[in-house]
Amino acid sequence: MAAQPKEIAGQRPSYLAEGGLVGWLTTIDHKRVAVLYGLSSLFFLFVGGFEALLVRTQLAVPNNHLLSADTYNQMFTMHGTTMIFMVIMPLEIGFFANFLIPLMIGARDVAFPRINALSFWVFIFGALFMNAGWLWHALPDAGWFGYANLTERYYSPGMNIDLWDIGLLILGVSTLLSGLNFFVTIVNMRCPGMTFMRMPMFMWAMLVTTVLILLAFPALTVGLIFLFLDRFIGTHFYVAALGATPILWQHLFWIFGHPEVYIMALPAFGIISEILPVFSRKPLFGYAGMAYALVLIAFLSYGVWGHHMFSTGMGPVADATFSITSMLIAVPTGIKIFSWIATVWGGKLRMTTAMYFALAFILEFTIGGLSGVMHASPPIDLQQTDSYFIVAHFHYVLFGGMMFAILGAFFYWWPKITGRLLDEKLGRWQFWLTVIGFNGTFFPMHFLGVLGMPRRIYTYPAGMGWTFWNSFETACAYLLGVAFLIFLVNLVRSLRSEQAVGDDPWDARTLEWSVGSPPPAHNFDDIVTVRGRDAFWLMKYGSHDAPGHDSSAGARASAAHAEAGHAHVHLPAPSWYPLLFAAGLLVMGVGAMTWLRVVFLGAGLLLVSIVGMGFEYATYGQETEESRATFFRGVDSRKMGMWAFLGSECVFFACLISTYMVYKARNLGGPDAAVLDIPLTSFSTFVLLTSSLLMVLALAAIQRGDRKWSAIWLFGTAGFGLVFLGGQVYEFSKLYLVEHLAMQDNLFGQTFYTLVGTHGTHVAIGVVWLFVMAFAALKGKLQQSRSLAVEIAGLYWHFVDIVWIVIFTLVYLMRSIKEA
């Protein structure tokens, strides 16, 4: 029997009240998923810190042999990868954003609760997969940036880079799922009255961050797929001797990599923008300018990736262009810094630990930003690149910026998450040790960079003038480690404390503080109506003036909830399918490194879990009165989610097509586009485009309640898709057997097979999807009320057809066009 939504009538249990192990394994409550993210990320925080201390210990004195060169490479590679992909991003997006987004916008959950749980399990399995190298002394060892050709099988013959490549692909799936989910949640599920210009600034930051995720991660995915093919299939996407270029990896990686900096920075900006007004007893200064600055930062972040590549010889035009955009991005960042200072200026400051970390963030991040502006100048960058000056810069941005904000967020929102306060005395000890340890560790790296110490060396001779600062930095790094041990002690003591905190201990301004601490399972008894910015403050006091702190204000504010008469709240039931899906993805990763049959086993688990999730609830694909009340923004969340996914897919295919267009003209010999069979492909194209017409007929049939013809048209659409795939298989076999074009032969072969094959994989997924829906229609599981399910499948199918029109035009019809 399908699981049904839980119904809660009138009570307010904490989200932590029920469970047990099975409850946590199957939970889809956004707050519990956030806690799982938080625990996992804190574990990896200490793993990453241990790796950093090993690196610093190795460099403490000259000619040190504590670590071998290979072990050192593994430690600094895993430190960078761990802190970015398993600590900072999961803490900001998986933990704080996951917990707070529905509460801050007045919603009872995220738009897609099971996808939310799925994103966590994919994350944890991807992280464990990458860290499996600890068992065989085979951790990734080519740097967190994975520059080609270091990652080719010839230079890295072991499993080290395999774990990194596949692990990052798995982690990317998790991040994309989270980005899509939170984008739809913020856009579509804000409570009545919460317009975009009334959202908390943290919501603005997360909205822009989700757009960056959807548009940046596909480039990294394409680069990792190329690396996977090079290592496992024998292609040569990054081998210069065979006509390719390792610079392709740098372009794909940094097109992702610089927006990635802001994927980590923007949530931190949002966190600081929430902490400062509360402890300054003032509204955020320049709200509109701050919001627009976030959007401008995101826009400009896609035009600055080249400043990571000044030393590659891109040419004066490219260097000048990227230099200008890199300088321009400092303008919106400066707007935010001045707005934060203006918020604090003249305020009635309460110097809590959270406030200390927020103020320190402004200083430390500004230092990192100023050194970043220096690297916008190509001549300066050429002197400093690959030196320890760069290490100092990005640690001031990532640690001095993001980690200081995260630590402030822990002290600020910990009472809401757990119902317990963190100890302020321990917090101050932690803060000062963190400030001293951090600046003592990383500021001298500027000096070492100027003195010529290069990055990524595992030891150095005496007499270079580097010994003192390296020893000093290592001592301060251990001091920083002590600060985090105090933090851990503080967390544990807080959880063991029996002293509960009130719902609103800080006299805060945003909606999450209007509910219990910790919140009930359903967040809000009644849907809130927002009357302005700082919604909870207006509920309590009716204006933006700053009265004295009133500990009873939070209790009085509950009367301000708009809709009374709450009777029932429907919550989705727990589900095993997210865990099963993530397990299938993990099995596929293991199979890629062992036996092909294991890959098919993992794919089977994926298929079972996807179909299971699709039909787990009786309301699958159904637009009911309750769903319309939930999705009160006018566009159904499921449809909006598909549109967001397709937007991300546009970037994915754009990267594949761009690579083909560049590489086909660099083909050094052998068969090229002249061997393609245009008549056969023209027929296949006609069949695929005709299938879109059948898809339209299927939707029309289900909308008028004609179950028989909806099944017929769905089977017909899937059948036409199979004909198209059959044509592709025939063409591939002909090219291989008759024209002797293997994927590994030349640049044309590898880019052609990858581009067309990837599109074929999308068609195959659509065919399976359509067959499942057709059988569901025959079994009476797909009725008129569920026409939305067919409409969403139709959006995907039409997108696949449109992409093929572009590919067919560029690959087949324009095959004779050569690079000038």
Whether the CB-CB separation of 445 and 40 falls below 8 Å is answered with: no
Q: What is the pLDDT of residue 502?
A: 85
Quick one: CA torsion of 538, 543, 547, 549, rounded to 10 degrees? 0
The model's confidence at residue 547, banded by pLDDT at 50, 70 and 90, is low
Greatest C-alpha distance within the chain: 84
Residue with the bigger pLDDT between 617 and 231: it is 231
Secondary structure class of 570 (helix, strand, coil):
strand
Q: What is the pLDDT of residue 618?
A: 57
Question: Is 546 a residue whose pLDDT tops 80?
Answer: no
HEC string of 763-774 equals HHHHHHHHHHHH
Per-residue model confidence as pLDDT tens digits over 353-381: 999 999 999 999 999 999 988 989 999 98
Per-residue model confidence as pLDDT tens digits over 491-544: 999 999 877 788 899 999 999 999 988 999 888 888 888 988 988 999 888 766
Taking CA atoms, 286 is separated from 293, 525, 771, 799, in Å, by 10, 33, 53, 41
Q: DSSP code of 387?
A: B
647-683 CB burial, b ≥16 within 10 A, e <16: bbbebbbebbbebbbbbbeebeeebbbebbbeeebee
The model's confidence at residue 545, banded by pLDDT at 50, 70 and 90, is low
Question: Is 780 a residue whose pLDDT tops 60?
Answer: yes
Per-residue model confidence as pLDDT tens digits over 319-352: 999 999 999 999 999 999 999 999 999 999 999 9
DSSP states of 542-567 = SSS------TTHHHHHGGG-S-----
Taking CA atoms, 552 is separated from 505, 514, 544, 556, 800, in Å, by 10, 12, 18, 7, 57
Whether the CB-CB separation of 648 and 214 falls below 8 Å is answered with: yes
Q: What is the pLDDT of residue 438?
A: 97
**H/E element, 450:** helix 444-450
Per-residue model confidence as pLDDT tens digits over 43-91: 999 999 999 999 999 999 999 999 999 999 999 999 999 999 999 999 9
Per-residue model confidence as pLDDT tens digits over 572-615: 788 999 999 999 999 999 999 988 889 999 999 999 998 888 87
Whether the CB-CB separation of 145 and 104 falls below 8 Å is answered with: no
CATH fold group of domain 30-496: Cytochrome C Oxidase; Chain A (1.20.210)
Between helix 201-232 and helix 247-280 the angle, nearest 10°, is 160
- CATH code assigned to 669-813: 1.20.120.80
Question: Which amino acid, residue 540?
Answer: K
Q: What is the pLDDT of residue 400?
A: 93
Q: What is the mean pLDDT of residues 688-698?
A: 95
Q: What is the pLDDT of residue 453?
A: 95
Query: Which two structure tokens, joined as six digits, stand for 641?
Result: 């989610």
Q: What is the pLDDT of residue 341?
A: 96
Exposed/middle/buried for residue 494 (C-beta within 10 Å: 0-12, 13-18, 19+): buried
Q: Where are the domains of the chain?
A: 30-496, 669-813
Secondary structure class of 632 (helix, strand, coil):
coil
Q: What is the pLDDT of residue 566?
A: 44
The model's confidence at residue 557, banded by pLDDT at 50, 70 and 90, is very low
| Among the listed residues 362, 213, 212, 184, the one whose alpha carbon sits nearest the alpha carbon of residue 273 | 362
DSSP states of 664-682 = GGG--SS--GGG--HHHHH
Q: What is the pLDDT of residue 800?
A: 96
Residue with the bigger pLDDT between 690 and 786: it is 690
Exposed/middle/buried for residue 164 (C-beta within 10 Å: 0-12, 13-18, 19+): buried
Query: Which two structure tokens, joined as six digits, stand for 335?
Result: 């707007």
Question: Is 249 a residue whose pLDDT tops 90?
Answer: yes
Residues whose CB falls within 8 Å of the CB of residue 151, separated by 6 or more in sequence, listed in order: 142, 161, 164, 165, 227, 230, 231, 238, 249
HEC string of 490-547 equals HHHHHHHCCCCCCCCCCCCCCHHHHCCCCCECCCCCCCCCCCCCCHHHHHHHCCCCCC
**H/E element, 310:** none
Q: What is the pLDDT of residue 785?
A: 81
In angstroms and rounded to an integer, the radius of gyration of the C-alpha atoms of the chain is: 27
Please give the mean pLDDT across all residues of the chain.
89
Q: What is the mean pLDDT of residues 292-318?
A: 91
For the chain, the residue count is 820
